[in-house]
Structure 1
């Protein structure tokens, strides 16, 4: 992070990236001194409510983040930056999105956690849009013109006020990652209870990780004078970019037992701060992340360490486990919504654990048309996972298993949603390899 003083002293001349967070209430005009080089501007965590009328002077700007400010209107001047590719205004108080503010060059738009009631029909002109983050707003419907965004791959509309999931959404050719929990049309099915584990039985050790929805820690669980090492996830309780923590917890419980899931041991009770939490088996240290989350360039596709290579056997084992688990989830009316390599842990033998239910949603299995459509959206995500696995495969010879996987991949990501196979079919085909 740089400082306003550095900017004013000319120390940042020629900078490509600039991040300022100093409680700013006005846009520093000195930023225009970087107009010839600046490509990324992060003004998050300030007190800004508007951008200057001549903001378009930043002709080379590609990425703009203004999260956690005081904007009430998405600035129209965004349209004046010809190369603007990624825009983030998360956690402001935005109520209005003017048509002009929707720069048609935008590929990734983040408006999570605002107060937006409606979107202009002109959003359908954003033909490059691949990722649209709208969770935590007050949307009552989506404009049908959004269906014109044929490159849209990831859509987050959780925690809004939508009365229904638009049918046109279910046929979008590239939509693969969809999260829609916390709307008025959502169902909350009755799920099997799991044991309650009193918070006082859990001795916290140290933090293992932190995500948008909660903190995972290592702990000792005291049971009848014995101690068992476990992992605990305590949910923060606030809406995330993907959805509601309550839905994450309930869908994970509803998923049931599967060798591709970290085993749930119980639900935390009597937390001193009233928070919800889950107790899980501790994952062996031999497991590691298969991939890394998308970056600014890849947008909706995971990225991988350069050293990552997989054998044909590992690829088959990973793909088989995920297909089997996804089939089980959809048979229970659960859409994961975030089927990605970065949510998968593997070991050297290809044993696989799938996690992070932060974007997961329940849907009505009785509605057969909706049920099949949602499953086939997720099948597309699985197809991209297969594509990643094939890219990582160390074997390039055209042996039969790889040819079969390539054929399955192509069927999964086909633009005709209704022609895609279902997960149970895919799982059965994988068992033949």
Structure 2
């Protein structure tokens, strides 16, 4: 909840732990220091700030700061002196310079999306607690080799930069599970080829009647729509569809046109949302996709990570699965991931919050905003990237197992599922199975469970 400067100056916010001010600030309000005994989260996004005060460390309990959509040209070095600061968000500024002095010692989550950063300091290798690194939409040409020392890194966003190559050590980071790198020079040919080689229908804008909004994400807005049949006698009645209209700006994950390319190139699979075509001739030139309308009974498996959980999804407290449903979800998503990998696509965001599920464990994987292409025949890089995504699947398995109602008769099945989970989560990437083996293992487990005799 956003507070007002007047409330702050009147002392009405005493004792608050979280403060958000968006009121055209050009200077840091000194009254914030009146909250130094309690303030933990400070959000100054949406102002006109270009600096922070030298005595910011007086906020001794501050662990999270957001200064997105301001006018910073460098990441303030004073941040590095804030001993409890673990989350730093400076999205959509004008930042070019990031010095080693600006990195707090307890940094877990760094957001520099949509800036002009050209290099990262080698001192980033000292951030041994770093788990989440958001760098999409910058001007990076290389990554410092010292970043390889950040062994706790689980999520990296590198899309829409100027990288000439993806360093081989990135895919071997022991805990890396979610990676996005589309929209870089080293990957342009693969992305162009994917669009050229994948036939897709072009659906004229005038044939679509947009209705109510179904949802909105970082890259676009999804509407329910009716696709009017051009030749009713041949095609029948109007068809209900979903239309995603892209915003056309860089997101935390990457570029909308890369997402669209991956959605189209993914092709058909029972556990992916079918793409029916591209929007043609939108009056303002907006890109869009027409997709099959999904059963409204399907729900997201979980919510996205919180500030506290950092990289792990948040489930409703009452979320529980029977073993058959858990196995069905796991097998369906593993099968979809295997299919994507066969097409040379890494989903990049294999998370429960991007999975829709319904009765009997039917599951659909969506949101290709972090998807990246790779050469499926690259004998070195392809399996490394595939095993990286296998670790993300291991996290999903762990979450399903934790929420599984297991009868005594199914203990052996859950033990085998836990063993598979452990292999997927191995910090030795080469020890992780590929999705072909995972699908076979889960199919056998599911068949065994469904065919097991029930107790009287």
TM bracket, shorter-chain basis: over 0.9
Aligned partner of 1:354 in structure 2 is: 365
1:383 matched to which residue of 2? 394
Q: Please state whether the residue corresponding to 2:223 is helix, strand or coil.
A: strand
Q: Cα deviations across residues 47-84 of structure 1 (Å, max 9, x unaligned)?
A: 00000011110110011000000000100111121111
Cα distance in structure 2, aligned partners of 1:169 and 1:59: 34
C-alpha displacement of 1:45: 0.3
Q: 1:199 maps to what in 2?
A: 205
Which segment drifts farther, 113-122 or 183-192? 183-192
Runs (4+) off by over 6 Å: none
SS of equivalent to 2:186: coil
> Counterpart of 1:410?
422
Superposition pairs of residues 15-414 of structure 1, within 5 angstroms: 15-186=16-187, 187-188=190-191, 189-190=193-194, 191-223=197-229, 224-225=231-232, 226-395=237-406, 397=408, 399-414=411-426
Match of 1:3 in 2: 4
Moved more, 373-382 or 260-269: 260-269
Backbone CA RMSD of aligned residues: 0.9
| Distance of 1:59 and 1:104 partners within structure 2 | 14
Task: Tell me, in whole angstroms, the C-alpha distance in 1 between the residues paired with 2:310 and 2:249.
Answer: 25
Matched with 1:431 is 443
In structure 1, C-alpha distance between the alignment counterparts of 2:376 and 2:358, rounded to whole Å: 34
Measured in 1, the distance between the counterparts of 2:198 and 2:168 equals 31
Unaligned runs of 5+ in 1: none
Deviation at 1:33, TM superposition (A): 0.4
Counterpart in the other structure of 2:453: none
- What SS class does the counterpart of residue 371 from structure 1 fall into? helix
Over residues 223-282 of structure 1, what are the superposed CA-to-partner deviations in whole Å (9 max), with x where a residue is unaligned? 124211110001111111101111111111111111101111111100111011111111
What is the CA-CA distance between 1:104 and the residue it aligns to? 1.8
What TM-score comes out, normalization by structure 1 length? 0.99
Q: Which runs of 5+ in 2 are unaligned?
A: 446-456
| Residues in 1 aligned to 2:264 and 2:407: alpha-carbon distance in whole angstroms | 40
Cα shift at 1:167: 1.0
Which residue pairs with 2:433 in the alignment?
Answer: 421
Give the drift of 1:428. Answer: 1.1
Q: Distance in 1 between matches of 2:275 and 2:74?
A: 43
SS state at 1:18 partner: strand
SS at match of 1:150: coil
Which residue number in structure 1 is paired with residue 451 of structure 2?
A: none
What's the CA shift string for 1:160-186, capped at 9, x where partnerless? 001101111121100000000011110
Q: Which moved more, 1:353-362 or 1:365-374?
A: 365-374
Distance 2:293 2:3 in 1: 40
More helix by share: 2
Provide the TM-score with structure 2 as the length reference.
0.94
User: 1 CA distance for matches of 2:377 and 2:281?
Assistant: 36
- TM-aligned CA deviation for residue 396 of structure 1: 6.0
Local SS of the residue matching 1:388: helix
Task: Measure how far apart 1:400 and its partner are.
Answer: 2.4
The alpha carbon displacement at 1:358 in A equals 0.2
* 3-state SS of paired residue (1:345): strand
Q: Secondary structure at the match of 1:432?
A: helix
Q: How many residues align?
A: 433
Q: CA deviation at 1:418?
A: 1.1
Q: Deviations over 1:341-361 (max 9, x none)?
A: 000011122111110000001
Moved more, 393-402 or 111-120: 393-402
